Amino acid sequence: MGGLQKKKFERGSATNYITRNRARKKLQLSLPDFRRLCILKGIYPHEPKHKKKVNKGSTAPRTFYLLKDIRFLLHEPIVGKFREYKIFVRKLKKAYGKTEWSAVERLRENKPTYKLDHIIKERYPTFIDALRDIDDALCMCFLFSTFARTGKCHVQTIQLCKRLTVEWMNYVITSRSLRKVFLSIKGIYYQAEVMGQLITWVVPYQFSHDHPVDVDYRVMATFTELYTTLLGFVNFRLYNSLNLVYPPKLDSNAESEPKEESEDDYAMNSESYLEKLSALSASLARVVSSAEEEEAQLDHFPTEGEDMEKMEAREKELKQQEAQKKLFEGLKFYLNREVPRESLAFIIRCFGGQVSWDKSVCIGSTYEMTDETITHHIIDRPSVDKQYINRYYIQPQWVYDCVNAKVLLPVEDYFLGVTLPPHLSPFVEEKEGDYVPPEKLKIMALQRGEKTGNEQEEEEEEEEEEEEEEEQEEEEEDDNGDEEDDEEEVAEEKNLKKMEEQRSQGKSLQVKVTPGKLKVENKARLEQEEKAEEKRLAIMMMKKKEKYLYDKIMFGKKRKVREANKLAAKRKAHDDAEKAKKKKARK
């Protein structure tokens, strides 16, 4: 035989993986540092196919990383920074212990910091990659920007998050890229289409958080560190793409305030400036002053030339999109103080509407409530004392529903104190066989422009018809009462007559011959049955593996159908109950 004895676990998959602890030792990092490094570099564990082989015969639960990944981490400059920071902390502790305050001060001044720019560049080699992955970053930054300064994280982080999110929102407004919004019980979902990427983020409702104790804020902070860097660079690039000034500046021309204000901008406290920005009421300054006209053009038809050649469907979609972009153009909104101002202002401005609010609510209101040109007054209370005649008083859901429906919905359903129609998720795309709530069908009909405005009337008509029917029925019932009595009498008489006849004929009619009925064979049905049986027989001949797969698929399908049916049944029961209630109320 000869040759060396082959040792176990020195080749194959065992050499491709490394356990977390060994990786940590190899990198000479503490566990929190290792964790932070993994977060920043986007390294995640791998599940080996043969766990036992990789685990050297043991079945103990372990986390495995790819050895290549860990080798890749070895050369990361940030690892050195982590070590430096460790040393800094040690020195600082020492200085504190010795009460050498000057040393402490000096050390603090030289606190080692690190930048994540190269990591961002490395993780997202192209801008589109970054955009694709920005969902989480946005969600996180929006969450952090709502934190109170209670020491759960650094104040600077909160401020930075606030700044970045405001910048993002301003970009979305300027580029008019918002597509869908959804009021969920968790928060408000927004979906924007930026450079062809659908980006979804969720913003919590404006309440203070009760911070859970079982959440590790260090992990969240590390993520936020990465995400703020990412979002900052993305914002910069996006602002550049629109020829906007970065960091954003309010457009001094558009501002109603005189010039002196804008000159003050530079010296103005950045926080108050940020507040102004976050009011989302003014447009942003552009780099090229003359760009305004071009931009206006661009705004309207940003990709006209290219799309002329594309398919008509696409064109149509684009047209629709364009229309959606100008959904609120020409409308003037006023937000009452109890509605979520930021969200509504953001949405309305995204679709070209004008918006204002009470001066005491927030900085940046542009016109008063008394303005006669206001078309929609968004209000969320059961009634209001003074109503202006020439404006609609509507509940905030109207705005969200309009955006999702891409048309201006009839305002009647959303008037003050009216029970709102259900708010549907715009993210659900019903496939064939799925349950579609009737409200969605209605909106789809509206979108197709079928019965704009008739819906309500129709419903009313239906109701009227129903009423009539009911009345008729009632009348009929009354009539029937009499008729039935008559009929019964008639029937009895007939029976009696028959009996008498039979008797007279001599009771010989026990056996009778009835004419045979021609069995009508439904050909289509027969064919169908035949086909079904054929299929059943063919299924019997399936191989075991395929049968299993087939059964699984069919089970899934059936379950879907069952769920849809259940929903439909529930809806029907509800509607019936409602109708009954109505009837009762009417009576």
What residues between 16 and 45 interact with other proteins by CB under 8 A?
35, 38-39, 42-45
288 lines the binding site for other proteins (CB under 8 A) = no
Strands laid side by side in the 354-357 sheet: 354-357, 332-335, 376-378, 392-394
For 357, phi then psi, to 5°, come to: -155, 180
- Return the DSSP state at 18: E
Geometric angle at alpha carbon 464, from 458 and 466, rounded to 5°: 105
Tell me if 579 contacts other proteins by CB under 8 A: no
Strand-strand pairing, 197-204 and 187-194: antiparallel
Binds other proteins (CB under 8 A): choice among 71, 149, 300, 535:
535
62 alpha carbon, distance to own chain's centre: 36
Query: 3-state class of 87 per DSSP?
Result: helix
Residue 11 three-state SS: coil
How far, in Å, CA of 61 to CA of 580, rounded?
A: 59
Residue 324: what residue type? Q
| Shortest reach from residue 448's CB to other proteins, in Å | 21
306: which DSSP letter?
H
**Please, which residue, 316 or 557, has the CB nearer to other proteins?**
557
Name the one range near other proteins by CB under 8 A: 211-219, 454-462, 472-480, 506-514: 211-219
| Secondary structure of 532-574 in HEC code, one letter for each residue | HHHHHHHHHCCCHHHHHHHHHHHHHHHHHHHHHHHHHHHHHHH
The Cα–Cα gap between 300 and 441 comes to 30
Please identify, using beta-carbon distances, which residue of 115 and 583 lies nearer to other proteins: 115
Out of 263, 264, 292, 439, point to the residue binding other proteins (CB under 8 A). Answer: 439
CA atoms within 13 A on the CB side of 241: 15
Please, which of residues 315-374 interact with other proteins by CB under 8 A?
338-340
Stretch that binds other proteins, among 302-310, 349-357, 435-443, 468-476 (CB under 8 A): 435-443
Other Cβ atoms less than 10 A from the Cβ of 488: the count is 10
Is the peptide bond between 437 and the residue preceding it cis, with omega within 30 degrees of 0?
Answer: no
| Minimum gap (Å) between residue 347 Cβ and other proteins | 13
Instruction: Determine the interface stretch with other proteins among 91-99, 313-321, 368-376, 431-439 (rule: CB under 8 A).
Output: 431-439
Spatial neighbors of 173 by CB under 8 A, at least 6 apart, are 280, 283, 346, 349, 350
3-state SS assignment for residue 103: helix
Query: Nearest approach, Cβ of 454 to other proteins (angstroms)?
Result: 22
Site membership for other proteins, residue 425 (CB under 8 A) = yes
Task: State which of positions 378-407 bind other proteins (CB under 8 A).
Answer: 380-381, 395-397
Question: With respect to other proteins, which residue has the nearer C-beta, 428 or 491?
Answer: 428
Show the tokens assigned to 84.
């430096």
CB of 338 to other proteins, least distance (A): 5
Q: What is the nearest approach in angstroms of other proteins to the Cβ of residue 249?
A: 15
Task: Tell me phi and psi for residue 133, to 5 degrees.
Answer: -105, 15
* Interactions with other proteins, residue window 104-143 (CB under 8 A): 109-110, 113, 115, 117, 120-122, 124-127, 130, 132-133, 135-136, 139-140, 143
- Contact between 161 and other proteins by CB under 8 A: the answer reads no
Site string for other proteins, 213-252 (x = CB under 8 A): --xx--xx--x----xx--xx-xxx--x-----x------
Q: Is 278 in the site for other proteins (CB under 8 A)?
A: no
Shortest CB 489 distance to other proteins, Å: 47
Q: Which stretch binds other proteins (CB under 8 A): 3-11, 280-288, 450-458, 565-573?
A: 565-573
Interaction of residue 101 with other proteins, rule CB under 8 A: no
Pick between residue 182 and residue 328 the one whose CB is nearest to other proteins.
Answer: 182
Q: Contacting other proteins (CB under 8 A), which of 56, 94, 427, 470?
A: 427
- Residue 292, interface with other proteins (CB under 8 A)? no
How far apart CA 398 and CA 232 sit, in angstroms, is: 33
Between residue 177 and residue 196, which ones bind other proteins under the rule CB under 8 A?
182-187, 189
Number of residues interacting with other proteins: please give it, by CB under 8 A: 110
Task: Rule CB under 8 A: say whether 437 interacts with other proteins.
Answer: yes
Q: What is the spatial distance between Cα 30 and Cα 450, in angstroms, rounded to a whole number?
A: 65
Q: Given candidates 2, 3, 212, 258, which one binds other proteins under the rule CB under 8 A?
A: 212
- Under 8 Å between Cβ of 234 and 246: no
Beta bridge partner(s), residue 284: 250
Does position 536 bind other proteins by CB under 8 A? yes
- Which of residues 89, 441, 539, 580 is near other proteins by CB under 8 A? 539
CB of 476 to other proteins, least distance (A): 32
Question: Under rule CB under 8 A, which residues in 448-507 are in contact with other proteins?
Answer: none
Confirm or reject binding of residue 574 to other proteins (CB under 8 A).
Answer: yes
Of 208 and 505, the one with the shorter C-beta distance to other proteins is: 208
Could you tell me which of 360, 362, 356, 365 has the C-alpha nearest to residue 335? 356
4, 509, 524, 541: which one contacts other proteins (CB under 8 A)? 541
Instruction: Give the whole-angstrom CA distance, residue 71 versus residue 577.
Output: 66
State how far the Cα of 375 lies from the Cα of 331, in Å rounded to an integer.
Answer: 6
Q: Which is nearer to other proteins, 101 or 236 (CB)?
A: 236
Cα(312)–Cα(318) distance, integer angstroms: 10
